[in-house]
A and B are shown apart, each in its own frame.
Chain A
Amino acid sequence: MTVAALALENITCTFASRDDRSQRYTAVRDTTLRIAPGEFVSVVGPTGCGKSTLLNIGAGLLEPSSGTVSVFGEPLAGINRRAGYMFQADALMPWRSAIDNVMAGLSFRNVPRHEAHAKADEWLKRVGLGGFGDRYPHQLSGGMRKRVAMAQTLILDPDIVLMDEPFSALDIQTRQLMENELLDLWAAKRKAVLFITHDLDEAIAMSDRVVVLSAGPGTRPIGEFAIDLPRPRDVAEIRAHPRFVELHAQIWSVLRDEVLKGYQQQLTAV
């Protein structure tokens, strides 16, 4: 077996309230998740089930209460230097223009300015924003900001790409465009991708494997499905593929109960 690009082993993550130590919340319990190099894995689950927690643990932004994280066989300590992270919320630095945002990672690594600038320019063109380099984030639309964020993450050529519902705030057309762009970029580079989403269609259309998480608290994986759809895919067209419909039905039958459970919990919590 090859060494996993990212391996989360028996992860449990419990949050304790700062004011009252007895108030605890276990977001994730005994979760194991392995992603092979070059594999595109999506994680789906009901809202508030701890998907983002898993991703933050993989990124090294959050330390698990127990369990181990290893990156290409090495235990992870601190920030995961081999991973790029695309956030759900706007994460661009508002005081930097689009091109300065894209080249931020390179300049943090002390790459010479002209070199970084040329590379950032190339990436902006690749995400279709060639002429927008000098705009500030507030001057860009939501979809454009996501493209800048994508360029900002991928310019560093990370071996692992972590994505936290990156397109959830976009309208459906922009979203499909961006999904296809991401698939093209991924097909060219073949990086390990851990993609978090609540949208099952998106998960199936893009991934090699879909992992279904149970409703929180104490989330754990309850189902794993290999997606054997042909590549290259077009996210809009693949939805009509008979195998897609079949997979969708299978996964949804598992996911539905969890979604209802999560919904019930939210209702009773009020």
Chain B
Amino acid sequence: MWKRVRPNRANLAIWQWLLLVLSFLLWYALTSPTLLPPFYFDDPNKAAFFFGEPQKVLMRIWDWFVTGEIYIHLWVTLIETVLAFAFGTIFGLAIGLWLALSPLASGLFDPYIKAANSMPRVILAPIFGVWFGLGIWSKVALGVTLVFFIVFFNVYQGVKEVSPVVLANARMLGANRKQLLRHVYLPSAMSWVFSSLHTSVGLAFVGAVVGEYLGSARGIGYLILQAEGTFDINTVFAGILVLTAFALVLDGVVGVMERRLMKWQPKSGETEKL
């Protein structure tokens, strides 16, 4: 019996969902004021107060979507994330390509890039708030500063690692500078870029939510901040769960794009058992 149901390739998805359900059950068991006798806190309600209760968290999410209250907030956070992701990636690609192909420019800017990268950029959020106001653009700006460096360094590395033989071959085949960029440097950098985009999606979310947290009138970060102000821990967790779910969706979209664009990459082959 166990042999049939134990985790294997075929039922992995079922087990993944089961694990989620199990962790929710564990969460419920440990925080319910009535189910187990209190073993750490002196008051049976304290565990629920600090860690929330899963059934209430899920009800909260359900309410949000049924009443439609969350849509405007979700929309704002998602649009900030997507814009930050898009602008950060485009800037990272453009400047990464430029600096990688121009040794003089990269030599000149090198210390500044290093300094800008090692600076904790979240502290820029208040400044962006002043510059761009409390609307979406201050959050987009913060997200861009986070995404940009990830993409930039990967493009830079990707271009530097272009195989010199492939490059020489393309030149001998008559490629001019523009064609080399389009047909050699860019495709070669893309595999590095895609591995960085998965990290970037998460950071674009961080930029949006931290920005909202520091000053906004809409967005999931704003919801979480409001809930925290009233010690409504269930709503805080609900916001976190919604954010996580949408981050997973965006990551999946990047994954689909990656598989479509990178189908030339070798995958480790598997033999088929007959």
- Residues on A lying within 8 angstroms of B by beta carbon are 59, 61, 79-81, 83-85, 87, 89-97, 104-105, 108-109, 136-139, 152-153, 156
Contacts and interface: CB of A to CB of B under 8 A. Distances in A.
Given A94-B264, A108-B179, A83 B166 contact: no
Contacts of A87: 165, 168-169
Contacts of B175: 104, 108
Given A93-B183, A93-B184, A136-B264, A85 B174 contact: no
7 contacts: A61-B171, A85-B172, A94-B264, A97-B264, A105-B173, A136-B264, A156-B174
Contacts of A61: 168, 171-172
A88 B173 CA distance: 16
Nearest to A93: B166
Contacts of A104: 170, 173, 175, 183
A87 B168 CA distance: 9
Interface of B: 163, 165-166, 168-176, 179, 183-184, 187-188, 190, 263-266
B168 A91 contact: yes
A89 B165 contact: yes
B168 to A, nearest CB: 6
B174 A81 contact: yes
Contacts of B170: 93, 104, 108
A138 B165 contact: no
Given A92-B169, A95-B264, A152-B173, 6 more contacts: A61-B168, A85-B168, A93-B183, A105-B173, A108-B170, A138-B265
Determine the main DSSP class of B at the interface with A.
Answer: helix
B8 to A, nearest CB: 29
Q: Which 9 A-B pairs have the closest CB atoms?
A: A91-B169, A138-B266, A105-B173, A95-B187, A85-B172, A95-B264, A108-B174, A136-B264, A91-B165
A93 B171 contact: no
A228 to B, nearest CB: 32
Contacts of B169: 85, 87, 91-93, 152
A138 B171 CA distance: 22
A79 B171 contact: yes
Nearest to B261: A95
A21 B190 CA distance: 36
A153 B173 CA distance: 7
A97 B264 CA distance: 8
A95 B168 CA distance: 16
B163 to A, nearest CB: 8
Contacts of A105: 173-174
Contacts of A85: 168-169, 172
A104 B179 CA distance: 10
A88 to B, nearest CB: 8
B165 A90 contact: yes
Contacts of A153: 172-173
Nearest to B171: A79
B174 A96 contact: no
A138 B188 CA distance: 15
Contact of A96 (B176, B264, B265): B264
A155 to B, nearest CB: 9
A84 B165 CA distance: 14
Given A108-B179, A138-B266, A93 B187 contact: yes
Contacts of B183: 93, 96, 104, 108
B172 A83 contact: yes
A139 B163 CA distance: 19
A255 to B, nearest CB: 27
Contacts of B264: 94-97, 136-138
B22 to A, nearest CB: 41
B179 A84 contact: no
A265 B133 CA distance: 71
B202 to A, nearest CB: 27
Contacts of B179: 108
A79 B172 contact: yes
Contacts of B172: 59, 61, 79-80, 83-85, 153
Question: Of B165, B169, B175, B266, which is in contact with the most chain A CB atoms at under 10 Å from its CB?
Answer: B169
A105 B170 CA distance: 8
Given A93-B187, A94-B264, A109 B174 contact: yes
Contacts of A137: 264
Contacts of A89: 165
Contacts of B263: 136
A91 B166 contact: yes
The CB with the most chain B CB atoms within 10 A, among A83, A89, A92, is that of A89
A59 B168 CA distance: 10
In this complex, which of A61, A80, A97 has the most chain B Cβ atoms within 10 angstroms of its Cβ?
A: A61
